[in-house]
Amino acid sequence: MDDALRLRAVNQIFKIDASLGCESGKDATFTLDFEEKNYRQQALAGLIRDTVPYFALTQEEIASLDKSDWNKSSFTRISDAQPTKKGDYGELLLYIILNIFYDTPKFVTKARLRSSTREQIKGFDCAHFSINPDRTITLWLGEAKFHQTFSGAIAQSFKSLNDHLMDAEKIKSELRLLSGEIEINKNILPDEYLLLKSHTNGSKSLDKVSIQVPVLLTYDSKCIGDFCGTENADIGSDVFQASLIAELKGKFLSVYERTWPAKNNITISFYLLPLRSVSELKEMLDTIETAMKF
């Protein structure tokens, strides 16, 4: 993402700092602001539209393509599935959050790997990384569930994580695939590239590979719906914040009542993004996608 796009993102998506009883200490909630008493979903659709090239193209492609070709080239890598079944935009939201709030760039463009846009992205929904102060690498291999109901998002993420994380051979197979597709980030040094390679190509014991699994869950928020159009429709409103935090605490209780896959080298973190209407946002994105592809 370029600097202008990053600035737009930080002016549209906000991290809520509140004690929500998070078990891992890494869980978080993100929300949009209001404008003229309306939740800024239309602005979010515009941000997603302009982020698609950075999500779906490699850095080399972005550098070599004329900017006028970015949109068509990148949107042709977005799934042709029906809006209600398309996972790409949830994955793109996770991409934005990881870049903006956690400074973890992607090392593989997963949208490029599928053989057909009729397929959803297979395996983990993202492949990002971070370099720790002690010069070790953490791989960020996440999940995104772009759902209207929180119960549906939880159920699907639970199924996916058990499928992906409980089978060591599946993890190693995915890492080997990613290892052959590593893109050299412009900010990474040669020795850091070799370190990243050693964490994915099987030369390092999987038990010693640090893996962070961010799980993005969206849902239609009753709180946000109730506040739209009212005098307290403002992210800075104490009344709104208290109501949203109360709702979020209930959602996190639903997360923590399940027994998630557990391994010493793997940490799961949950990112909640309440929306006013997921279906409306998906409809906006479908309209944008149609215009960009044809």
Q: Residues 260-285: what's their mean pLDDT?
A: 94
| 24 contact partners, CB below 8 Å, separation of at least 6 | 267, 268, 269
pLDDT above 70 as % of the chain: 94
Does 117 score more than 60 pLDDT? no
Strand 34-35 relative to strand 38-39, pairing: antiparallel
Predicted model pTM: 0.93
| Mean of all residue pLDDT scores within the chain | 90
pLDDT, residue 189, reads 78
**So what's the pLDDT on residue 19?**
56
User: Percent of the chain beyond pLDDT 90?
Assistant: 71
d(CA 137, CA 201): 14
CA–CA distance, 94 with 214 (Å, rounded to integer): 8
pLDDT-based confidence at residue 148 (cuts at 50, 70, 90):
very high
Cα torsion through 144, 160, 181, 131, rounded to 10:
70
Q: Per-residue pLDDT tens for 80-103? A: 877 777 789 999 999 999 999 999
Residue 220 and residue 151: Cα distance in Å, rounded? 11
Q: Which residue has the higher pLDDT, 220 or 191?
A: 220
In sign, the C-alpha dihedral spanning 52, 57, 60, 66 is negative
Per-residue burial over 261-293, b if 16 or more Cβ lie within 10 Å, else e, is eeeeebbbbbbbbbbbbbeebbebbeebbeebe
Q: What average pLDDT does this structure show over 124-138?
A: 90
Give the pLDDT confidence score for residue 13 in this predicted structure.
96
More confident residue, 153 or 16: 153
How many angstroms separate the CA atoms of 214 and 110, rounded? 16
Q: What is the pLDDT of residues 245-266, one digit of tens each?
A: 999 999 999 999 999 998 899 9
| pLDDT for 108 | 93
DSSP SS3 for 122: coil
What pLDDT was estimated at residue 25?
65
Helix axes 88-101, 41-56, angle to 10 degrees: 90
> Tens digit of pLDDT for each residue in 46-64?
999 999 999 999 989 999 9
**pLDDT over threshold 70, residue 18:** no
The residue count of the chain comes to 294
Q: Write out the two tokens for 226.
A: 């109730």
The contacts of residue 151 (CB under 8 Å, 6+ apart) are 254
